[in-house]
Structure formats: structure tokens, C-alpha cells
A and B are shown apart, each in its own frame.
Chain A
């Protein structure tokens, strides 16, 4: 059973963490991909989740957002138990999950993709709110504004990544789960995407869980890092400490 040494014996904090994962076990069919993972992320922090292929990073995000069911353990959002709730329910409760790769609905236009995000907190936004939020998004990313009526299939890889992250933000989440946002992007674009993610925390106080293959660039923007190995937490530390621990990174990430 993996434990977070920092938390052992801590008194219960007054404010519950934005995300608390307790002894979470999950998998697919007969395969257990996540074994008793515990972690805690405070409000406004970026936590990088690192690990080799098959370490359980994507499974962790999928179990938090409800895409797969937890077999054991609990997920708490702001202290409330949200384990085993449906993904759409969790999305409306404030968990935005940007899945790896195929998050863009290519048959819909850019604007329709974004509207789906803005419609997510249903009942909590007015039409004027949504229009204003969309206008703001276009101002921030003119490339999206210029193609708003075009099918999202026409966007480049970097633009798609901006689209899905912007769409997730329009849902006004409390917790943003990003799975491999740099996957398949050119190095220059990766820097842009990372800068954008770092900017999110500063501007909105959003709590972010960032799964990355690209450990170095993830650790430059993260506050803390969690290293998974074979479905378990093998290290938790602040980002600077992890980045300087070359032995650990080499062992678990092959860097």
C-alpha cells in the first residue's frame, strides 16, 4: 500500500483539499492498473503525474472523472465523496477531464465544441454569460475565433489542444484533469501549451492534475509531482525536488 509520507500523522486540515484520492484501486476487466493510490491536491496547485507507459497515469484520471469505476477506495472533491458517480454528473459537479488525443468532436464546428463546454454547468449560466465567455475565449485565442464556423477537423494539432483546453475551461471546472496535452505536438507548440496551462493557475486559481510523458516540461510549470510506477505511487515531492532527482527520473521514466 503506497502512502504519502508527508501526510502521515498530519492533523485534518480545516479546508479539505480540492482533490483527495484515497487508496484508489481500479482497472479494466481482469487487469488492475491502479493499486491503492492516495494523493491530495490543494486548491490552485498544478500537480504533475509522471510515470512510464502503463504506470497507471491515464487510469488514475479516468477513475477520478468516472470513466472507469473505482474497485476500492474513494475520490473526494472539496471533501465530498464523488466515488463511482457518472462522468457527466462529475463534469457538472466541476471535474473537467481532457482525455488524451481524441477530445475534439471533429464533426462539430469549433464554436459548437466550445458551446458544449459552456453549456456544461447547466442551469448555472445564462445565455449572456455563455456568449461573453465564448467572446473572451476567441479574444484569447484568435486562431479559434477565425475558424469558429469551420469543422473542428480543420484545426492543427496545437489548435485542437487549445480548443479542448478552452472548452474544458468554459465548463468552469474546479478541477482540471489534463492527459498528455503535449502528445504529438512539435516542441515549439509544446512550450506554448505549457505556458497556457501555467497561465491558467495564475488567472483562475484552477486546480490542475497534469499527466505527462514529457516530465521535464511538466515539472517546470508544476508545483508538485507524483511519480507512478506499476499502478502505485512511488514518489511524491515538490516539482523542483523531483526535477533534480535524476536517479528517480531515470529509474521510473527512463530519462
Chain B
């Protein structure tokens, strides 16, 4: 019982990171119908930027903020790179985003070298206790979950309550109609990628203390974030968060009860099972099929 509680709570914090990556993929998918294979590499790159700032200033939060801002800019730049592939056969975008992935990982290797670097946490990683019971999580895990939750809620509020959010949704659902209503569709797509870059950068900074930082460090996180998005239906921001949580908790049980070596294989298995049993995801069917 004690173990079960620890594994569950620990899984939430991992799950929120997968949720963040999933959310960033959903943001791009909804607007452009492109699966951004470079999302993990973008997050890796902005995390290097954060590390440089942190080493230079000695201030974690300076690095944190700069990483998010860099994610915003990098997302917008990548959209402009990918733009010629928008609205073309899907393979074009696959090739361009995989090209971006290779480019960013290559650049990171050239600039920063291939060695593993440790990345600091925002808060303590000493395990928390209630009474005599260990919870299996630390304040930093609470921060990780809280930061992603706050970002997800801020995004939801942006989409729901602001003019630009309404225009972004209109573009995602029906870009032709949106343009006839005066919406600058290209600008909305750039903004969608920028926000995705920001959420991805957040995930990078949050997860890297537990993985080390190197040019491929986000690859496996990307696969799990993609799985989270697929569980949720790729079209649903809420679905991505729920998918991330489900995946995070399940994989933490696997890691805890069966051994951490099995996590990657179970992550892939989860992806295959979802694609076989319910390819439109838990939240996808209702909202996506009508035009």
C-alpha cells in the first residue's frame, strides 16, 4: 500500500511532463495537421540555453524564464521553416520536421558537445513525509506538476476567453472560413507553434534534472509525450493532459513493481495498444470527425 502510494504520486509528476510534451504536439497538430517530430529536440535546445544562463548567472529562475522565451521564439522560427510543407501531402511535413530534429541535435552536439551534463532542480529533491509515511515525491515534483498544470490552465483560458484564442481555434477547426472572417491564418499558426515551443521548453527544463542533458536527451521523452497525445486523441488539449497522467502513473508502476528497464518497452507497447484499440484516442472521436 505504501509502495502503491509512492508510485502513484511519483507517476503524476512524470505524467505531467509527458502531458506537457503531448500538449505541445496537440497545439501544432490542431492548427496545421503536422506531427512535429522536432518537438523534443527543440526542448533539448532551449534547455541548453537555460543551463548556460543558470551557469552564468547562478540563478535558476533566470534560466527558466529565458528557456521559456527561447521556446516561444524557436517555435515561431520553426513554423516559418515548416510553412512550405503546410497543407501539402503529410510526408512532406514528416521529412521537414525530422530534418529539423536532426539539425537541432547536430547543432547542439557541435556547440555544446556530446557529454552528459547535469541540470539543477528548482526545489529540493528530498522525499516528503506525512507523519511517518514517505510520499515518494519531493517538493520539486510538486513544482513540476504544478507548473505544467498552471501552463495548461493558462492555455485553456487563452483559448476560451481571449480574442486571439478564439481566432486560433477558428483557424484550427476551419482555416478557410477563418480567413474569410478576417483572421490572419498564417499568424495564428505561427503563434500556435510558438506556444508549443514554450510548453515544450517548460517540459525540457522540468524533466532534464532526472535525465541529464545531451543532444538526444529528449528523444525518449518525446516518444512518451507523443503517446500521451495519442491516448488523448491528438486533437484534444485536455486529452493530452489526461493521457500524460495515465501514462506517467502506469509507467511508474511498471518501473516500481517490474523494474525501470522495462519502461521504454511498455511506453511503446502502450502506444501500439492505443493505436490498435482506439486510434482516435479517448477524447478524439467526438470532436474531430465532423467538419
Contacts and interface: CB of A to CB of B under 8 A. Distances in A.
A91 B181 contact: yes
Contact of A121 (B176, B182, B183, B185): B182
Nearest to A86: B179
A117 B181 contact: yes
Contacts of B290: 106-107, 153
Interface in B116-157: none
B33 interface: no
A2 interface: no
B83 interface: no
B27 to A, nearest CB: 16
A102 B182 CA distance: 17
Interface string A110-152: 0010011101111000000000000000000000000000000
Nearest to B174: A105
Interface in A58-88: 65, 67, 86-88
10 contacts: A67-B179, A86-B179, A88-B184, A91-B180, A105-B170, A105-B173, A116-B178, A119-B166, A119-B182, A167-B181
B188 to A, nearest CB: 10
B111 interface: no
A92 interface: yes
B236 to A, nearest CB: 11
Nearest to B184: A88
Interface string B164-178: 001101100110111
A97 B179 CA distance: 10
Of listed A88, A112, A120, residue having the most chain B CB within 10 A:
A88
Contacts of A44: none
A80 to B, nearest CB: 17
A119 B167 contact: yes
Contacts of B180: 65, 67, 87-88, 91, 96-97, 99, 103
B287 interface: yes
A91 B182 contact: yes
Contacts of A103: 177, 180
Interface of A: 65, 67, 86-88, 91-92, 96-97, 99, 102-108, 112, 115-117, 119-122, 153, 167, 171
A179 to B, nearest CB: 11
A99 B177 contact: yes
Of listed B167, B179, B185, residue having the most chain A CB within 10 A:
B179
A107 B184 contact: no
B105 to A, nearest CB: 36
A116 B185 contact: no
Nearest to A95: B180
A182 to B, nearest CB: 19
Q: A-B pairs with the 6 shortest C-beta distances?
A: A120-B182, A91-B182, A92-B182, A88-B179, A87-B179, A107-B173
Contacts of A117: 181
Contacts of A121: 182
A120 to B, nearest CB: 4
B163 interface: yes
B291 interface: yes
A120 B170 CA distance: 12
B167 A116 contact: yes
Contacts of B185: 88
Given A88-B181, A91-B179, A108-B166, 12 more contacts: A87-B180, A102-B177, A103-B180, A105-B170, A106-B173, A107-B169, A107-B173, A107-B290, A116-B170, A116-B181, A119-B181, A120-B181
Contacts of A96: 180
A88 B182 contact: yes
B291 A102 contact: yes
Nearest to A121: B182
Contacts of A153: 290
A107 B179 contact: no
A24 to B, nearest CB: 19
Nearest to A91: B182
Given A106-B291, A119-B166, A67 B181 contact: no
A122 B182 CA distance: 8
